[in-house]
Structure 1
């Protein structure tokens, strides 16, 4: 984390607003320093905090320690999500905040953890202000949000919201052939208990997730904190190009059925279709069989991630990419199978809650708070169909995310803590 002199920094826009209580800024930095080394790869500097691994266990132990240090009631739900409570959640109409602690392969430090650390620091800020809660306040760490190990994002929140069944979850397998149930058992959790948790969701009156912005919209406008409007529709598709394995040195080019060629041309087609439509499309993962340097592949399997501002635009992009892939596969004598592995339609955050966040922050800072959309998926998007949900974004000066280069300035992080504290005070202390 870069930046200096955070304890008296203010929140958003031109810096209007009250300063942080020294304790809340200090607690943020202490927690951040403690969590920073967990799961960090010494070679890449990125994070490998995958679900149900030792690094994940360290993160979970850290969360429980933070809850205990604040005298919060701690629990783990049937899906392995962690909860810390100030007040009795059974009273209902609770205000919940938090995010996730896992990472993508070699991801950055902020995506997910910033929201969890800020949640605890915001509670410290509320206590420093001596405000009294009138609604239960919860902090949550959702499990396996990134989907780095089992290939499906937001597993913990999907299970809770009934967007993923127990049977579907039990079929998830990692790259080493280990199933989700086996991984959970090895980590000390019961995979047979997982499933929808409507009783828990019924207790939540509002969920607010703070997240580092995955883009540069706030940096362009000069604002430290913004409010989310919606999540773009997005999905993941698997393209299986099947050819014929053969010797790389003795097989004439004319005799080859090389699946790497149509795959490569499909990657270029994805870039072209996305650019023309104003969308994004990325082939970021590939598996090759037999994966030998001197062998023509028998199978090239590529995973496409695509997102767009509107459903119709996304459909057009995917149709264009698949048509190009089939054309190139036929030209090279290669078979092709396309499978949609996951899909999330556009998510409009609760308008009343979104407007209330903007009102609270605008009143405190004396500014018009920016409202912006995002192409990234979040646990908040999964929960949006079940409970009123909103998001806060903290400025990212480079826009880089899912990379070790992801960052946010210290004063912007403290601004995010204060914005979240203001929101929680407005929602849970009225």
Structure 2
């Protein structure tokens, strides 16, 4: 199948007719349909298909047990009303790159694998990269069992309802030990390539990032009969904290976002008793991130004290800065016919630029265990996690060619 035909086949799965965005949440019907698509693509190419202990899907060309394998892939799940490209572009491009290698009649000296990591976005259970975190031992079995969705369904329950044995989840060091390199292709989540006029980029690092839950507790009361002076309204403290997050991020040159909120009792005519908001913050380095989050929490406590509100702040997840393997990054640049600028080249004439990203990825999770790298495909809108997310088909095809070149270069060594 061509890139276009595969893309067209996957495109309708989990798409909302109302928003045009996607709702491919982990262990739901849409997720099952995506998984079925991946399995069908693997089997149609005669690849060895595997479902690992954490629900990640693998398709192998060559002996899966031989070791030093070259692996590529991404994820198929989405954020609520997300775009079509974040994740799926990497998976579709992986199959298309394999097809191109076969068309070139390339003889590979190493096994090649394609992977679809489960629950990368964390839209259902609130933690990103669950499949790769479990495999890498960065999420314990006990922690995984405590993950619940908005309806109180635990991760193991969701997996079992989808027909998977959740009793097997946990670290998978034997599998990861058989991987020599992992390369993830992804649509750029920003406009750096569009501004530079390049179709393809190479990742340098992932910014440190985390999620913090702010619980503002006040007193529920009648919205029509309670004097303003008598209110303990947690919504006021929350609203002021949202503005403080924007201010702190702007001053530090970072980003901070309150994008999710839960309110109790959530009535139009009721003053809330609880406002729970989730902060997502990211920065180019750890010190800057600490400055932003500390500043937001300090401001939140001052606002809460002023309104008689109790405040609890809980860090729910955190990922330190991820420097992708320098040797592998430089090898990608060499394969693509360019210098990263770290050696004899100046870096000024790069046609495959090296750039950082504020978005987390499975490649970042795995980087602590195996050499990883990333390729980015130009996104002219710069929009991501939205139906407006976009990449032109000729840029996508250029990404497939670059990925095929990289896989050929790595697997023929």
1:122 aligns with 2:97: yes
1:165 aligns with 2:140: yes
1:377 aligns with one of 360, 371, 387: 360
1:34 aligns with 2:9: yes
Distance 2:164 2:321 in 1: 33
Distance 2:259 2:116 in 1: 26
What does 1:214-225 correspond to in 2, within 5 Å?
214-225=189-200
Distance 1:212 1:367 in 2: 19
Tell me the alpha carbon deviations over residues 59-85 of structure 1, each in whole angstroms, 9 at most, x when there is no partner: 000000000010000000000000000
Aligned equivalent of 1:427: 410
> Hey, which bits of structure 1, 4+ residues long, moved more than 6 A?
none
Q: Which structure 2 residue ranges, 5 or more long, are not aligned?
A: 340-348
How far does residue 341 in structure 1 lie from its aligned partner after superposition?
0.1
Distance 2:135 2:89 in 1: 22
1:198 aligns with one of 163, 166, 173: 173
SS at match of 2:373: strand
How far does residue 190 in structure 1 lie from its aligned partner after superposition?
1.1
1:136 aligns with 2:136: no
Whether the aligned pair in 1 keeps the contact of 2:156 and 2:166 (CA below 8 Å) is: yes
What does 1:347-426 correspond to in 2, within 5 Å?
347-362=322-337, 368-426=351-409
TM-score by length of 1: 0.93
SS at match of 1:343: strand
SS at match of 2:40: helix
Aligned equivalent of 2:318: 343
Distance 2:291 2:76 in 1: 34
Tell me the alpha carbon deviations over residues 218-248 of structure 1, each in whole angstroms, 9 at most, x when there is no partner: 0011000000000000000000000000000
Distance 1:205 1:360 in 2: 17
1:256 aligns with 2:231: yes
How far does residue 368 in structure 1 lie from its aligned partner after superposition?
3.6
Distance 1:227 1:158 in 2: 23
Q: Which structure 1 residue ranges, 5 or more long, are not aligned?
A: 1-25
RMSD across aligned positions (CA): 1.0
Aligned equivalent of 1:277: 252
Aligned equivalent of 2:344: none
SS at match of 2:336: helix
Tell me the alpha carbon deviations over residues 284-309 of structure 1, each in whole angstroms, 9 at most, x when there is no partner: 00000000000000000000000000
What does 1:229-308 correspond to in 2, within 5 Å?
229-308=204-283
Whether the aligned pair in 1 keeps the contact of 2:201 and 2:376 (CA below 8 Å) is: yes
Tell me the alpha carbon deviations over residues 339-378 of structure 1, each in whole angstroms, 9 at most, x when there is no partner: 00000000000000000001111259x9642000000000
Distance 1:358 1:302 in 2: 42
SS at match of 2:198: coil
Tell me the alpha carbon deviations over residues 80-126 of structure 1, each in whole angstroms, 9 at most, x when there is no partner: 00000000021000000000000000000000000000000000000
Distance 1:69 1:399 in 2: 35
Tell me the alpha carbon deviations over residues 402-430 of structure 1, each in whole angstroms, 9 at most, x when there is no partner: 00000000100000000000000100123
Aligned equivalent of 1:59: 34
Aligned equivalent of 2:297: 322
Whether the aligned pair in 1 keeps the contact of 2:338 and 2:352 (CA below 8 Å) is: no
Distance 1:313 1:289 in 2: 33
- Tell me the matched-pair count: 404
How far does residue 160 in structure 1 lie from its aligned partner after superposition?
0.1
Aligned equivalent of 1:75: 50
SS at match of 1:230: strand
